A and B are shown apart, each in its own frame.
Chain A
């Protein structure tokens, strides 16, 4: 469902007094999930009660500075939400609210709850205090504990299509279009280009986060900043890999005569070229290979190695 539909559902739930104490929003955590959460929180904390977006309550929600809303996100370099963070959350939640109204706790990237943290969270999640609502934002709800899943209501927000920044996309398309040309030498060239692209992205992310930290005028510890950069970089990298995957998926779609289902209509010519050169089984093997590459990157295998492997086998 889209953002408005989800918001309407939640709004009705709160209006009719049937709101659950915990929701899992599945979708891009910092994208549509966060948008819906902020909107609903505005509803709860707005001074006029209709999420005007202008009063102090609403603004503080959007700035993430409201004293009754606790935002929890991975803070360690390992991008794990630690048990200490959960304990802190529990203390906060069981204290009375600062302003006498609702309290809320938003967990961004809930799938990054560590094993211990997730378990420690269970009892709180089952029977939280009154007028307290939890939002768990995640893009892979299936990796949460089943015991957590069964304690929450679920909303699936769509959004698989990834938007990459234009310059990144252009470079990536250029790399992908070369697939299968110039033999193994070409493949290594592609791998190098890919590595350079990732390095540039990382630099950009670092700069962006540093600026953001300055703007917020908060003296974050280095660890927190690192965690944020790491998380953001992985998000961009994942969408980059997904772009690659969808590219080769489009090849497969062309081979299945399902031209209407091609995502990437802008670069259809390059995709057609690839489709003409491979068989159906080769196209499926390519996809399996990309999936494997993704897994390796997630396991912190050296990216140069991963990419050269990938492009050599795509050849």
Chain B
């Protein structure tokens, strides 16, 4: 007989041979024992885990001359015919090739004839997800009430493509990916029978590479045997499947964590030239960082976490270099990269850019860390802060005052800042504002309430505009409100009774935070907002009328007015391009890998 690949040669012939699917095989066995057979079964699961095999074993069990039995004899002519695919009573249909409604009609016509020899007429439809909708529908009636001698068995990898009306007529079995130890066990058996010497590490590498599919693992072993002969080591496995060894992975991770960009590209070059699978590399790197996360966050590393002893030592050492946030950022970049790899023009280039991004993200300072640092500074007092004024952290603080970091941060850092916008920004501002006061060492004198109130009233339109930019829904209701009092720690806002419902919008949440943020910026200190009802309609109307007269513009041109005002504030720096040349801004941009998208006074 011609050579058959291991996966076919070792196709299980008994329920007990099936690896890792006990929950399915036991159920089927019990159904056979207790004579509680359904007329339609659906087997679902990823590639290479035993759907077709179970379907065949089940049909043998049903039609065996000594059956129905849980252990088909494999000797009678019925079992033999089924195994050889020549049985007249077991029809294995390729659903993908026979997917039209006509073929289903033909099938339906044959259903009513009794089986020629066995007890049942069994239709196995493999790849059933490829049946057309019309074909599925043509099958519905037959599937609901088939003659007693008919059984249907469907197998598919993509159950979501099957009509719900079909699924509800079947008993559905979800087959699982096979765990690594069970694959190893099976491979050992196969290797022994094939008289191949293969060490445990090599088996483990094969099993890992197969991602839960036994057929993949067996094809891999087959390939190894045909390439490398009867003696196989882990080296061979790694080189044939383009996997990367632990040590190299560790080295790469270390380079990423320390931000050694040159080292990274050099290492990638080495890996690529030795023919490693780069997509696989990203996946493994992701798993590596997952392990690092575990070491970072779990105090007692136990067996359940799937970590080898030797690995833990290296991981613990690397854990010193980083923290959870940074590693999370890395895994996110790697995740994007895996997706991109599928259609990438040049995988190597994609990998290089991704890992450079990783390296930068691994050493870049996060907002949380800056905040922690600032808080440190505050605790140790203004004098100390002034002393370290030249340090990078205080430089960042000053710069972030000019260009709100929420807008300028780029891809890596920016995502984080944006996600948190309201929450993060609010705490930042009071601190920044206060620490600015500290840096300037010139204590801000508390101006009279009236002055500040006048200032706010004057700038009110612009304040509304700025609030509106942060919280979209907050801007316009504010236009009809006015600040009526400014105290040391809060600003009292008056709402006209006509707009009473707006008052609720500023009780809490994002709108309130946005408003507080802007007010804090304009007053130079952190303030709370208090809202109450007040008669201000007349004032507002009058104001608007005056403004309209003075500027000869309609209210809809508010934005333009605001822009004019802004130009007045900083006439020297008008365009974004000019901002780019300010050293502090430049530094912030480089640090956060960002770009300027908006400039506000």
Chain A residues in contact with chain B, CB under 8 A? 1, 9, 12-13, 16-21, 86-87, 90, 116, 119-124, 126-127, 130-131, 140, 142-143, 146-147, 149-154, 156, 158, 160, 238, 241-242, 245-246, 249, 252-253, 256-258, 260-261, 279-281, 284, 287-288, 290-291, 294-295, 298
Contact = CB atoms under 8 A, between A and B. Distances in A.
B226 A156 contact: no
Contacts of A20: 5, 219, 222-223, 226
Nearest to B350: A291
Given A131-B2, A156-B277, A280-B356, A18 B345 contact: no
A84 B200 CA distance: 46
Given A18-B3, A20-B222, A281-B593, A241 B345 contact: yes
Interface string B224-244: 011100000000000000100
Given A20-B222, A261-B269, 18 more contacts: A9-B227, A13-B226, A17-B3, A18-B226, A19-B226, A116-B130, A119-B95, A120-B96, A120-B99, A122-B96, A123-B97, A123-B127, A126-B8, A140-B342, A143-B342, A257-B262, A280-B356, A291-B345
A151 B214 CA distance: 11
A256 B268 CA distance: 13
B127 A1 contact: no
B126 interface: yes
B130 A146 contact: no
B110 interface: no
B345 A153 contact: no
A249 B94 CA distance: 47
22 contacts: A9-B227, A13-B227, A16-B226, A87-B97, A120-B94, A121-B96, A122-B126, A123-B94, A126-B52, A146-B47, A147-B157, A151-B219, A160-B346, A245-B346, A246-B349, A252-B353, A258-B265, A260-B266, A284-B356, A291-B350, A295-B343, A298-B343
B97 A120 contact: yes
Interface of B: 2-3, 5, 8, 46-48, 52, 85, 94-97, 99, 126-127, 129-130, 157, 213, 215-216, 219, 222-223, 225-227, 242, 261-262, 265-266, 269, 272, 275, 277, 279, 340-346, 348-350, 352-353, 356-357, 360, 410, 590, 593
Contact of B219 (A9, A116, A153, A261): A153
B215 A156 contact: no
Contact of B96 (A116, A150, A154, A156): A116
A287 B353 contact: yes
Nearest to A90: B97
Given A122-B127, A142-B341, A147-B47, A253 B3 contact: no
A242 B97 contact: no
A252 B590 CA distance: 16
Given A87-B97, A90-B97, A280-B356, A160 B348 contact: yes
A127 B219 contact: no
Contacts of B222: 18, 20, 153
Contacts of B48: 150
B343 A153 contact: no
Contacts of B279: 142
A257 B222 CA distance: 43
B40 to A, nearest CB: 20
B345 A294 contact: yes
B447 to A, nearest CB: 42
Contact of B265 (A87, A121, A253, A279): A253
Nearest to B99: A116
A62 to B, nearest CB: 25
Contacts of B345: 238, 241-242, 245, 290-291, 294
A258 B47 CA distance: 42
B349 to A, nearest CB: 5
A225 to B, nearest CB: 27
A258 B340 CA distance: 24
Nearest to B4: A21
Contacts of A90: 97
A246 B356 CA distance: 16
Contacts of A256: 261-262, 265, 356
Contacts of B242: 156
Nearest to B97: A120
A84 B321 CA distance: 58
B8 A288 contact: no
B275 A156 contact: yes
Contacts of A12: 226-227
A257 B127 CA distance: 52
B219 A150 contact: yes
A147 B51 CA distance: 12
Contacts of A154: 223
A281 B352 contact: no
A117 B5 CA distance: 24
A119 B219 contact: no
A122 B130 CA distance: 11
B7 to A, nearest CB: 8
Given A18-B225, A151-B215, A242-B345, A122 B94 contact: yes
A21 B6 CA distance: 11
B125 to A, nearest CB: 11
A275 B30 CA distance: 71
Given A116-B96, A257-B262, A142 B346 contact: no
A150 B99 contact: no
Contacts of A160: 272, 346, 348
A249 B349 contact: yes
B356 A130 contact: no
Nearest to B349: A249
Contacts of A260: 266
B283 to A, nearest CB: 12
Contacts of B262: 256-258
Contacts of B269: 258, 261
A281 B408 CA distance: 14
Contact of B357 (A18, A140, A284, A291): A284
List the 8 closest pairs (A to B, CB-CB), nearest first: A119-B96, A18-B226, A123-B94, A13-B226, A130-B2, A120-B97, A120-B96, A150-B47
Nearest to B354: A284
A235 B1 CA distance: 42
Given A120-B97, A280-B356, A281-B410, A127 B46 contact: no
Nearest to A294: B345
A32 B222 CA distance: 24
